[in-house]
């Protein structure tokens, strides 16, 4: 139904009928109370709602069965490439060389997901604009872009940087990138693309209105990355450039080794369709998903879905039975993404219970003090069980995972800065043993890895300065 057709009352009647038939009869009453321009605005938005999907989601919600991408009952700990096996091995060196070749041949792109609403951090604006550089106050976006820049220089390749946004932060993200000159990357190698939105509903399954003439919508989850890659034409653009693998990560983790060659190499060597990095869980209660396998397929069980007895179960070695924590770093093979999205990808929709402001029957805005709404999201890792060939690679937490989730306490800006500081000091120790600056920051674009860092600072005299900022 086009917005233009809606000017004519006939189509309005059909929209009203369709929503009433879908159990959303309050929509008609709501329309009745709007003046013409506002009614037209709302009708245009209503026309974009996939009513079949909405009905299915509400029906699933009323049945209240847990939504999981993998059968939990038969889940076993998965095979993984454990650190003690790979660290310092010939296999690791071979994988790294192979990954470096892939980067130099221009076969790889980097993709950061940044479409979420970041409610726990309580930061106003895209989370990628949050300042994390201990000395430079560099933003998360600048941090990740700097790593891509370092890889481009090191391997002499045109590596695209993809950024997933959502309606809520797309414009602000584009402005931020433009205002900072794309952090030194060529503008046409920065591909910002938007995920889809889905309506939020109340506990009865009724659509909520965020304003008189607007539905309350929420991003459709990072599973939306895959559909948005295809729908936005980004997948075509990547294929046209000969890209074969996408290095995927989350905006909230400044420690991620963007485009890690060893990981890319292990992935390619095994012709894996989706590869994942994992960290040993800090403790049973840590809020990370866990890798598991069932019926020969790999998947991730989200922390909120993991039954307590599985969460606390111990293996014979005394360690947690499900110990492989999801740090949301993956490599997706482009041909796998193409195959998934061609067939009309159907990932399960998970439900998140949230507090969502809405307008009541008097058109007054209500900001609820309690949770009042359900949002629907797909998870990118629910694509794992759809792959025949996968890989899980263990990595050291202190080198790769320190996400910013909360304002304070664990997984906060303070812990991320602490872990960055420690990582910088480990690099510094290789070049200037004993140097102990009061504060240190190594810009992400300064060096791609510790070897490049050591070569670059050899002969620099001032490594012992109290505030050491290497740009």
CB closer to ligand UD1, 248 vs 448: 248
Which of left, alpha, beta for 271 (phi over 0: left; psi -120 to 50: alpha)?
A: left
CB closer to ligand UD1, 328 vs 447: 328
Q: What share of the chain is helix, strand, coil (3-state, %, to 5)?
A: 40, 20, 40
288: contact with ligand UD1 by CB under 6 A: yes
Q: CA dihedral in degrees (387, 266, 337, 251; nearest 10)? A: 110
CB closer to ligand UD1, 15 vs 164: 164
Query: Cα separations (Å) of 3 from 9, 12, 47, 194?
Result: 12, 10, 8, 22
CB closer to ligand UD1, 49 vs 168: 168
CB closer to ligand UD1, 124 vs 438: 124
Contact call for residues 111 and 248 (beta carbons, < 8 A): yes
Beta strands 161-165 and 108-113 are parallel
What would the two tokens of residue 16 be?
């009203």
250: contact with ligand UD1 by CB under 6 A: yes
The CB density around residue 407, as the number of other CB atoms within 10 Å, is 12
Shortest distance (Å) from residue 344 CB to ligand UD1: 20
| Positions in 9-48 near ligand UD1 (CB under 6 A) | none
Which of left, alpha, beta for 186 (phi over 0: left; psi -120 to 50: alpha)?
A: beta
Applying CB under 6 A, the site for ligand UD1 has a residue count of 24
Among 221, 385, 413, 444, binds ligand UD1 (CB under 6 A): 221
Among 99, 403, 413, 437, binds ligand UD1 (CB under 6 A): 403
The Cα–Cα gap between 99 and 410 comes to 33
Instruction: Show the binding pattern over residues 354-393: x = contacts ligand UD1 (CB under 6 A), - = does not.
Output: -----------------------x-x--------------
274: contact with ligand UD1 by CB under 6 A: no
400: contact with ligand UD1 by CB under 6 A: no
Q: Give the DSSP per-residue string, 160-212.
A: -EEEEE-TTTHHHHHHHHHHTGGGGS-GGGEEEEE--EEE-EETTS-B-EEET
Shortest distance (Å) from residue 49 CB to ligand UD1: 17
Instruction: Show the binding pattern over residues 293-332: x = contacts ligand UD1 (CB under 6 A), - = does not.
Output: ---------x-----------------------xxx----
| Positions in 113-172 near ligand UD1 (CB under 6 A) | 113-116, 127, 164, 166
| Positions in 180-219 near ligand UD1 (CB under 6 A) | 195, 219
Considering only the stretches 110-118, 144-152, 384-392, 433-441, report the one whose residues sit in contact with ligand UD1 under the rule CB under 6 A.
Answer: 110-118
DSSP bridge pairs for 440? 468
261: contact with ligand UD1 by CB under 6 A: no
276 Cβ contact partners less than 8 Å away, ≥ 6 residues apart: 291, 300, 326, 329, 330, 381, 384, 390, 391, 392, 393
Q: For binding to ligand UD1 (CB under 6 A), which residues are involved?
A: 113-116, 127, 164, 166, 195, 219, 221-222, 250-252, 288-289, 302, 326-328, 377, 379, 403, 405
């Amino acid at each position: 139904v086009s917005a233009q057709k809606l000017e004519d009352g006939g189509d309005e009647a059909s929209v009203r009928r369709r929503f009433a038939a879908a159990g959303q009869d309050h929509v008609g009453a709501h329309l009745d109370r709007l003046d013409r321009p506002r009614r037209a605005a709302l009708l245009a938005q209503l026309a974009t709602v996939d009513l079949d999907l909405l009905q299915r989601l509400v029906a699933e919600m009323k049945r209240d069965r847990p939504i999981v991408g993998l059968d939990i009952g038969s889940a076993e700990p998965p095979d993984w490439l454990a650190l003690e096996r790979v660290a310092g091995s010939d296999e690791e060196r071979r994988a790294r060389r192979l990954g470096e070749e892939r980067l130099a041949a221009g076969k790889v792109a980097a993709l950061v997901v940044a479409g979420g609403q970041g409610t726990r951090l309580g930061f106003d604006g895209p989370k990628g604009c949050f300042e994390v550089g201990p000395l430079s106050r560099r933003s998360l976006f600048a941090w990740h872009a700097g790593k891509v820049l370092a890889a481009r220089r090191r391997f002499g390749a045109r590596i695209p940087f993809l950024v997933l946004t959502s309606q809520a932060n797309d414009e602000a993200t584009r402005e931020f990138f433009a205002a900072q000159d794309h952090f030194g990357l060529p503008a046409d190698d920065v591909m910002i693309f938007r995920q889809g939105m889905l309506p939020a509903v109340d506990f009865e399954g009724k659509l909520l209105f965020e304003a008189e003439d607007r539905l309350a919508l929420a991003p459709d989850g990072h599973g939306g990355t895959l559909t948005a890659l295809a729908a936005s034409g980004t997948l075509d653009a990547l294929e046209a450039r000969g890209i074969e693998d996408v290095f995927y990560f989350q905006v909230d983790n400044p420690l991620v080794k963007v485009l890690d060659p060893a990981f890319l190499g292990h992935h390619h060597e095994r012709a894996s369709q989706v590869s994942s990095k994992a960290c040993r869980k800090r403790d049973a209660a840590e809020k990370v998903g866990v890798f598991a396998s069932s019926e020969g397929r790999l998947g991730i069980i989200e922390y909120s879905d993991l039954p307590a007895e599985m969460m606390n179960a111990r293996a014979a070695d005394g360690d947690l039975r499900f110990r492989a924590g999801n740090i949301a770093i993956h490599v997706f093979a482009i041909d796998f993404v193409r195959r998934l999205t061609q067939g009309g990808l159907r990932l399960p929709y998970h439900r998140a219970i949230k507090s969502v402001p809405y307008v009541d029957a008097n058109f007054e805005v209500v900001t609820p003090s309690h949770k009042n709404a359900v949002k629907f999201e797909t998870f990118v890792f629910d694509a794992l069980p759809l792959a025949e060939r996968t890989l899980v690679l263990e990595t050291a937490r202190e080198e790769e995972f320190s996400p910013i989730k909360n304002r304070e306490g664990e997984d906060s800006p303070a812990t991320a800065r602490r872990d960055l500081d420690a990582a910088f000091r480990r690099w510094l120790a290789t070049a200037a043993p004993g140097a102990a600056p009061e504060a240190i920051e190594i810009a992400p674009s300064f060096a791609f890895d510790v070897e490049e860092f050591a070569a670059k600072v050899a002969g620099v005299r001032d490594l012992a300065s109290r505030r050491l900022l290497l740009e």
